[in-house]
């Protein structure tokens, strides 16, 4: 059972969430069809922290730079990129201040060569220069300027596409809690995290949020293709100073650092539903998404439901933070009017004819909480994946509640930290260039 303070906060949280959802339901008829990707900062428990595209001390001990993007000016789609500092452990002083290693210490980080181009070049990098791959900031610079991955340094980073929780109607990619969680994931996994600010209900109902998730995957693939064209054009131009093809359209952080062939989807609560949909669409798209390859997905306490109640849905219906009645209200706000059903493909992962055969799905890690009423359906989905030989382990955490590793008041608990480390250990099986090192 959670501590008394958490139980009391849970009651307050459910009261505020139900009131917020009821208010959104009342105003749904007059809302704009344009949609929103986040609520005002006043709707969050804490204001959204601003992005900080630097590795200065202002970013905290995790040394992760962030940047906000709006890839499509005609939509409300919002992204926040998280890039771990490539030089954070390059010097003894930095290593002394580095966070402790993963508990199993199975994944040592590659060392940087002090004589590499990343450490030698002292030229400041503009956005266009970064897209053209022609300049690098000095490693000792206080602010991030980009670094150039080479075969010698091997610093192409995998990409983790993250979808926040919030019952489809609240939350944001740049909220305080999601920002802190993504920083932790970026640091532990040594990967670029792309947090997706998808459209929210009821302004944008199903399938808006799901389509936004797949749109981001296609956008990352486009970025990779533009970057590849730019490098080819730059080599063809020699040293004549010609700008790379499409340089103005290329996001420099992704162009310089991302390895799209190692892409992981990570969804939190309702974001897990989006991640699973995007994984299915990626399977259906196949080579059309090249060079994107979804190598794994992580579903953290997914927001799954169904008509036939499971044992946990009967026993824990009034559980902590997100009880069943509140979640039903959220689904009524999210699903199109007249199409409400707990066996809707967005809600039930095992509904017949939902998508590609389960045997084609990527390896799937499912995280569940002992006191979460939705856990049984998530476990059942994982069991079905294992039946068709998909690597689909389940991590169940004792005395844990829904969103125990991502909710603002629980982020600093030992259980939340342990969960992030466990996720990193499993994910590194599929993003490591050294092969599978261990398995649950």
> What is residue 302's predicted lDDT score, i.e. its pLDDT?
98
User: Using one digit for the tens of pLDDT, what is the confidence trace for 159-171?
Assistant: 999 999 999 999 9
Region 386-398: what's the mean pLDDT? 97
pLDDT: which is higher, 352 or 292: 292
CATH 3.40.50.1820 fits 4-18+73-85+152-431, yes or no: yes
Count CB atoms within 10 A of the CB of residue 339: 10
> What is residue 262's predicted lDDT score, i.e. its pLDDT?
96
Set 88, 164, 257, 402: catalytic member: 402
Q: How confident is the model at residue 30 (pLDDT cuts 50, 70, 90)?
A: low
Set 48, 175, 269, 312: catalytic member: 269
> What whole-number distance in Å separates Cα of residue 70 and Cα of residue 79?
6
Task: Calculate the CA dihedral of residues 179, 180, 183, 188 and round it to 10 degrees.
Answer: -150
Q: Give the three-state DSSP class for 259.
A: strand
Give the DSSP letter of residue 405. T
Please provide the distance, in angstroms rounded to a whole number, between the alpha carbons at the two ends of the chain.
Answer: 26
Domain ranges of the chain: 4-18+73-85+152-431
Percent of the chain with pLDDT over 70: 73
Q: For this structure, is 436 an active site residue?
A: no
User: Using one digit for the tens of pLDDT, what is the confidence trace for 300-350?
Assistant: 999 999 999 999 999 999 989 999 999 999 999 999 988 899 999 999 999
Which of 171, 183, 167, 220 has its CA nearest to residue 59?
A: 183
pLDDT at 192 over 90: yes
> What is residue 28's predicted lDDT score, i.e. its pLDDT?
67
User: Tokens at residue 377, please?
Assistant: 């359906």
Q: For this structure, is 164 an active site residue?
A: no
Within its chain, how far is the Cα of 46 from the centroid? 20
pLDDT at 296 over 60: yes
Per-residue burial over 275-310, b if 16 or more Cβ lie within 10 Å, else e, is bbbbbbbbbebeeebeebebbbbbbbbbbbbbeebb
> What whole-number distance in Å separates Cα of residue 378 and Cα of residue 304?
7
Q: How confident is the model at residue 182 (pLDDT cuts 50, 70, 90)?
A: very high
User: Using one digit for the tens of pLDDT, what is the confidence trace for 59-77?
Assistant: 455 689 999 999 887 888 9
> What whole-number distance in Å separates Cα of residue 430 and Cα of residue 257?
18
> What is residue 1's predicted lDDT score, i.e. its pLDDT?
78
> What whole-number distance in Å separates Cα of residue 399 and Cα of residue 370?
6
> What is residue 342's predicted lDDT score, i.e. its pLDDT?
92
What is this structure's pTM?
0.83
> What is residue 75's predicted lDDT score, i.e. its pLDDT?
82
**Taking all residues of the chain, what is their mean pLDDT, rounded to a whole number?**
81
> What is residue 282's predicted lDDT score, i.e. its pLDDT?
97
Within its chain, how far is the Cα of 224 from the centroid? 18
> What is residue 134's predicted lDDT score, i.e. its pLDDT?
34
> What whole-number distance in Å separates Cα of residue 400 and Cα of residue 322?
13
Is residue 127 a contact partner of residue 255, using CB atoms and an 8 Å limit?
no
pLDDT at 405 over 80: yes
Is residue 79 a contact partner of residue 68, using CB atoms and an 8 Å limit?
yes
Q: For this structure, is 70 an active site residue?
A: no
User: Using one digit for the tens of pLDDT, what is the confidence trace for 418-432?
Assistant: 999 999 999 999 998
Count CB atoms within 10 A of the CB of residue 79: 22
Set 174, 276, 372, 376: catalytic member: 372
pLDDT at 239 over 60: no
Query: For the ranges 231-235, 256-260, 272-276, 385-389, which has the lowest average pLDDT?
Result: 231-235
Region 241-266: what's the mean pLDDT? 79
pLDDT at 151 over 90: no
């Amino acid at each position: 059972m959670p501590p008394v303070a958490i139980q009391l906060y849970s009651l307050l949280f459910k009261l505020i969430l139900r009131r917020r959802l009821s208010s959104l339901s009342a105003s749904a008829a007059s809302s704009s069809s344009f949609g929103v990707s986040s609520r005002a900062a006043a709707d969050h428990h804490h204001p959204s922290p601003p992005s900080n595209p630097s590795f200065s001390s202002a970013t905290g001990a995790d040394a992760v730079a962030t940047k906000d993007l709006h890839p499509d000016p005609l939509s409300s789609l919002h992204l926040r990129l998280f890039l771990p500092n490539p030089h954070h452990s390059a010097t003894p002083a930095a290593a002394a201040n580095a966070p402790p290693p993963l508990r199993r210490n199975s994944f040592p980080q590659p060392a940087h060569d002090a004589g590499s181009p990343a450490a030698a070049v002292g030229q400041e990098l503009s956005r266009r220069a970064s897209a053209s791959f022609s300049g690098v900031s000095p490693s000792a610079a206080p602010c991030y300027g980009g670094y150039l991955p080479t075969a010698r340094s091997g610093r192409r980073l995998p990409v983790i596409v993250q979808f926040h929780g919030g019952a489809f109607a609240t939350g944001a990619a740049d909220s305080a809690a999601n920002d802190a969680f993504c920083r932790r994931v970026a640091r532990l996994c040594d990967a670029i995290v792309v947090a997706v600010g998808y459209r929210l209900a009821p302004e944008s109902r199903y399938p808006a949020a799901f389509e936004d998730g797949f749109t981001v995957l296609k956008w990352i693939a486009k970025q990779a293709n533009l970057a590849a064209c730019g490098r080819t054009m730059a080599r063809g131009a020699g040293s004549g100073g010609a700008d790379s093809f499409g340089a103005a359209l290329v996001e420099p952080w992704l162009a310089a650092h991302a390895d799209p062939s190692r892409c992981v989807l990570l969804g939190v609560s309702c974001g897990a539903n989006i991640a699973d949909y995007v994984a299915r669409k990626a399977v259906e798209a196949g080579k059309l998404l090249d060079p994107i390859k979804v190598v794994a997905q992580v579903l953290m306490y997914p927001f799954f439901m169904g008509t036939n109640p499971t044992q946990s849905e009967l026993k824990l219906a009034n559980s902590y933070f997100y009880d069943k009645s509140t979640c039903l209200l959220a689904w009524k706000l999210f699903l199109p009017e007249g199409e409400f059903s707990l066996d809707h493909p967005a809600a039930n992962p095992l509904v017949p004819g939902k998508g590609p055969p389960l045997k084609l799905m990527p390896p799937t890690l499912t995280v569940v909480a002992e006191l979460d009423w939705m856990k049984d359906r998530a476990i059942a989905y994982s069991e079905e994946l294992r039946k068709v030989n998909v690597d689909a382990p389940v991590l169940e955490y004792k005395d844990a509640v829904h969103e125990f590793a991502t909710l603002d008041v629980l982020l600093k608990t030992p259980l939340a930290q342990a969960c992030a480390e466990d996720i990193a250990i499993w994910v590194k099986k599929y993003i490591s260039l050294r092969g599978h090192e261990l398995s649950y």
